[in-house]
Chains A and B, each alone.
With several copies, the nearest count.
Chain A
């Protein structure tokens, strides 16, 4: 009872996707009767994140849940936490090999590149040949991997198809419109999260392309769900962040209490959310989905 866990993410403060994570750990914490803290580098600087992991280790928790956003940067601090006797579970990003290498117990989530790749393969199957990837966090090194994966899945060169949209919704909207105006033969739009998806929906509506152009997005949110429902968006890739947060807490608690541990990594995704399966998603988007 009263074990203490810390979840360290790589996301800047304002990133909305991580809310679901916060809600997930809050719920798991309540249910298991443990204390879980959420920590992140305020500006999303991975070097700061490494310091936070070190700090987390120093405060002597029972376990740490963290992402492996950049193996080079984070493997050192994670390994030394493991060496110190702290149980570590990797969530969200990382590969099974890397997870093994840092000595973590297991991995819950789905690597960004692979998710992109899966999406690309799916789009290729739907006949997509060119696309534009709206990257609202160009300087964030993790999220861009999705675009690369998608391009590789399609089997095309990423080249200039990833645009740096900035984070201002009006600018995102107008940049997407500018791109589509200048490149009218673009087959598909890929957005990397609610921040870029919401204005993109408006851009497509305004250009009369909504439902006409192939539109996929990562991560869910209110507007995305509405978009899927109305047919503007073909699919949203749901990594089910709730699981990425909830399961590690449960697993760690049970491991600490009873020494039980699942035999393998857990894939929280990829879940392609399409028009057909929207009920619960709609209800909980942005909170638990």
Chain B
């Protein structure tokens, strides 16, 4: 309360002789996602120069890093909303592995119809997310610890269950089991195949030159993964900025006690966000198993860090109450482009981590600077 600004009630801030003016241009630019935007521009610029002729920007290359970015974006959206609501989730990666394994166990080992396997898995995962959320809000423990526990518990089951049931840690045959199912193509299919075929025929994009797909375009269509990612980004952004619930998310993360006193159902908001994060992990897993046809015990390792990194690069505040879904999506894009771009540019792959660490550091420093300007924090 004492961090009072000079101006007294009754005087506009802008009239204050003790505060220097901020130019309108600078004001217009200063948004949570500014760091992400700058980063995106820089990253694309660099790779245009260093990997422009490596196929990174032909149809196939674009589809490649788009898919990877979409993967990151899918989980980043969940992690972003959760982080804005003041919590975070270290069990995202384990949840991805677990969800995929559950679909495989229900759909292949137990032989349920695929749609039932998928739906039950979604319900199960969302419920587990709800449980960790419930533990966090009831005990007041830091979510770091609670979700760390779930990281181990879920990964443990993901390794244990298939070993017990099938005596191996990978379960295949999901594509066959999903044959003719109505729900499976929602995750594993591709859309706009007609358009791409036409583009191939018209010579806009390259076509295969030999083999049994000769004449078909190199990019068949847009994978559902990308569609889901776009949908989730849109949904998350819409909820966050346009709805009452979005205001509650900000409030819950900004100061839970104050929000509660003002009538925001903070616990409900936090638990729902944990569930949403688990849901996005399940979507990720469903897309993955449907595309690749198998579930493995090692799927999703370290994805929680990747999600958190994308969100933080995108300008969200680790301690909650501040951030943007668009920013997180840009963070995911940067992450995806850098990761695949380094391959295209032929950089020694073990150096990827070094780059990642350095980018992360610079991004947060930039974002902190931007945030301080916006919020007047000191």
Residues of chain A touching chain B, judged by Cβ–Cβ distance below 8 Å, are 12-16, 18-20, 22-23, 26, 37-40, 42-47, 50-52, 54-60, 70-73, 76, 80, 82-85, 103, 138-141, 144-145, 148, 158, 160, 163-165, 167-171, 173-175, 177-179, 181-183, 194-195, 198-199, 202, 206-212, 221-223, 286-287
Contacts and interface: CB of A to CB of B under 8 A. Distances in A.
Of A199, A208, A286, chain B has the most CB atoms within 10 Å of the CB of A208
Contacts of B297: 13-14, 16, 138-139, 141
B352 interface: yes
B162 to A, nearest CB: 9
Q: For the side of the interface on B, what is the size category?
A: 35 or more
Contacts of A51: 64, 67-68, 340
B343 to A, nearest CB: 4
B267 interface: no
Of B55, B61, B175, B298, chain A has the most CB atoms within 10 Å of the CB of B298
Contact of B352 (A46, A71, A103, A164): A164
B174 to A, nearest CB: 7
A148 B170 CA distance: 13
B185 interface: no
A193 B213 CA distance: 26
B371 interface: no
Given A14-B158, A286-B168, A286-B172, 12 more contacts: A13-B155, A22-B167, A39-B349, A55-B344, A59-B56, A70-B296, A84-B208, A138-B169, A141-B169, A141-B170, A177-B60, A221-B172
Given A14-B159, A54-B60, A55-B61, A72 B350 contact: no
B305 to A, nearest CB: 10
Contacts of A209: 210-211
Contacts, number: 277
A222 B162 CA distance: 15
Contacts of A148: 167-168
A164 B170 contact: no
B288 A170 contact: yes
A170 B72 CA distance: 11
Contacts of A22: 163, 167
B211 A182 contact: no
A196 to B, nearest CB: 11
A163 B346 CA distance: 10
Contact of B169 (A15, A38, A160): A15
B174 A178 contact: no
Contacts of A39: 343, 349
A58 B211 contact: no
B292 A167 contact: no
Nearest to A35: B346
Contacts of A195: 170, 296, 298
Contacts of B33: none
Interface stretch (B13-21, B214-222, B257-265): B214-222
B159 A212 contact: no
B212 interface: yes
Contacts of B300: 45, 168
A13 B60 CA distance: 26
B294 A198 contact: yes
B54 interface: yes
B301 interface: yes
B378 interface: no
B64 A54 contact: yes
B294 A70 contact: yes
A210 B211 contact: yes
B350 A37 contact: no
Interface string B200-230: 0000000011111110101010000100000
B301 A43 contact: yes
A58 B349 contact: no
Given A14-B297, A139-B297, A208-B212, A55 B220 contact: no
